[in-house]
Amino acid sequence: MLRFVIGPDDVVVFDVAGKLPGRGLWLSARLDMLKTAAAKGSFARAAKARAKVTDTLVADVARLLRARCLDRIGLARRAGDLVQGYDNVRASVKGKGTAKGNAPGVLIEAADGGEDGREKVMRLAPGVAVVALFTAEEIGRAIGRDNAVHAVISQGKMAKAFLQDARRLAGVLDQPLAGNVNLGGPENKADQFGLSSKTE
């Protein structure tokens, strides 16, 4: 789900972390629903107030979610919950665990990485969620390297939080995550455009 609030000057603001004060307007993390809500005045109806939608709202949502996912990759590396590199990732998914010895939780594969190498790693991890939404340069920058094609976040809170945000990003981009990840989320209790609201 995506949370929005009405900010200064009645502008609709995407609350990427879900912590901004005010009445939350909730929408399924789907590109078609986001575009429809932005075009049809659904935010104003759900808020029962004026709600201005900027021309860049859809792009802003994708940009903020992408940045949040990459930040989580960096946090996982600094916490010792991430390993990267073809040999290290292969060893991890073959059962040797990640940096802390934990089982792999999410396999991250560069979208522009070699297909052969990606398939070899993915075949070793049939039960591990796979995310392939970022370039090798983006992943590398997140962990302080030039490029990174293969990475694994170990099972736990960091993997769960990253996967949740990656699912939201995939929905907004209208792209599959990759591999065996189920993009289905909780059903919306919403109006015809998928919007619901509550005060927090």
**The CATH number of the domain covering residues in 65-173:** 3.30.1330.30
Over residues 51-71, the pLDDT tens digits come to: 999 999 999 999 999 999 999
Beta bridge partners of 11: 52
The CATH 3.30.1330.30 portion of the chain extends over: 65-173
Whole-prediction pTM value?
0.85
**Res 190: pLDDT:** 32
pLDDT of residue 181: 36
Rounded-to-integer distance, Cα 94 and Cα 86, Å = 12
Share of the chain above pLDDT 70, in %: 86
Model confidence pLDDT, tens digit, residues 129-156: 999 999 999 999 999 999 999 999 999 9
